[in-house]
């Protein structure tokens, strides 16, 4: 029999967005907003843990009432919200990002990078195409077109938050092989959505980001429940006392979760919160 934690012992909820809290089409339902807001009123801390950039997550963070340390770019950045103050960054070495650019040029697979200069995180790409527009539609962020090698060489750029390949998933196996051959265990590679393959520093994970956020909030591991649907959420499960996956999650993710609830299309997370906390 499943041993659920006691509701009174839970002080934080770590929420993935796409595929978990958000319904298909990146929609935040009124039911989910209401359930999370009731949790906030009870004193629970809401920690957004997403692969999205800060700007792309803001339209979801604000309605959920989430304030404090938030995890972005799969854990490469933790920022205090709503102020937007950077608390922790874990950057990909620029030489490794350059290899991703070389690989993109060689294969023709679209690549874009988030660079970091300590004050802002611009999204850059080398060419226009349907992938650039698709990402813009999904996140609201349109990549600036530049020479990526030249941009990476700028002295004010201290590193790369992440490099992203956007393509049909059948192309990712070959990309992963090339990345593994050249970069090995020095990078963290995650397929975050069906057509997104992301490359980050090996120290990056939502789990590492969650540990940092929890420590900053003076909370213990067993006081948090983590929710997620993709492989990039699994490290977060290990750093929370209890983990929940929606039924639409990958099988590997559901196998790691303590509990599987209804799908994101059916507001599975909201339904769980309503029942678990008697909202």
Looking at residue 191, its pLDDT comes to 84
pLDDT of residue 146: 95
pLDDT digits (tens, 9 = 90+) for 7-26: 999 999 999 999 999 999 99
Q: What percent of the chain has pLDDT over 90?
A: 87
- Give the span between the Cα atoms of 189 and 122, in whole angstroms: 21
pLDDT of residue 1: 54
Element (H, E) at 113: strand 110-116
48, 256 contact by CB (below 8 A) = no
Q: How far apart are CA 102 and CA 152, in angstroms?
A: 12
DSSP H helices in 108-190: 130-139, 148-152, 172-183
Instruction: Please classify residue 201 by burial: count the beta carbons closer than 10 Å to its beta carbon, then call 0-12 exposed, 13-18 middle and 19+ buried.
Output: buried
Fold category of 94-201 in CATH: 3.30.1240
Instruction: State residue 66's pLDDT score.
Output: 97
Rg, the chain, Cα only = 18
Residue 123, C-beta contacts closer than 8 angstroms, at least 6 positions apart: 53, 112, 113, 114, 141, 142, 143, 144
CA angle centred on 212, ends 274 and 219, rounded to 5°: 50
Q: What is the pLDDT of residues 119-168, one digit of tens each?
A: 789 999 999 999 999 999 988 999 999 999 999 988 777 789 999 999 99
* Cα four-point dihedral sign 235, 237, 240, 246: positive
Q: Which CATH number is 9-89+205-276 given?
A: 3.40.50.1000
Domain ranges for the chain, please list them.
Answer: 9-89+205-276, 94-201
Least confident of 5-9, 113-117, 201-205, 270-274: 113-117
The better pLDDT of the pair 170, 2 is held by 170
């Amino acid at each position: 029999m499943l041993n659920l934690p006691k509701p009174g012992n839970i002080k934080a909820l770590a929420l993935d967005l796409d595929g978990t809290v958000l319904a298909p089409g990146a929609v935040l339902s009124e039911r989910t907003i209401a359930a999370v807001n009731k949790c906030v009123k009870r004193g629970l801390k809401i920690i957004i843990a997403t692969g999205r950039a800060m700007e792309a997550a803001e339209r979801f963070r604000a309605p959920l009432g989430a304030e404090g340390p938030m995890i972005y770019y799969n854990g490469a950045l933790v920022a205090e919200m709503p102020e937007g103050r950077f608390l922790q960054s874990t950057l990909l070495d620029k030489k490794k990002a350059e290899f991703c650019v070389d690989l993109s040029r060689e294969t023709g697979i679209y690549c874009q990078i988030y660079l970091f200069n300590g004050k802002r995180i611009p999204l850059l790409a080398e060419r226009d195409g349907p992938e650039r527009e698709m990402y813009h539609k999904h996140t609201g962020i349109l990549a600036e077109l530049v020479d990526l090698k030249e941009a990476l060489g700028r002295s004010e750029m201290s590193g790369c938050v992440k490099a992203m390949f956007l393509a049909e998933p059948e192309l990712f196996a070959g990309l992963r092989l090339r990345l593994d051959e050249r970069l090995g265990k020095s990078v963290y590679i995650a397929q975050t959505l069906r057509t997104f393959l992301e490359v980050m520093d090996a120290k990056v994970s939502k789990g590492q980001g969650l540990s940092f956020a929890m420590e900053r909030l003076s909370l213990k591991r067993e006081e948090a429940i983590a929710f997620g649907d993709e492989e990039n959420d699994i490290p977060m499960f290990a750093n929370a006392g209890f983990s929940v996956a929606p039924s639409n999650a990958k099988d590997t993710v559901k196998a790691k979760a303590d509990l599987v609830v209804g799908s994101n299309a059916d507001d599975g997370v909201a339904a769980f919160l309503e029942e678990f906390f008697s909202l």
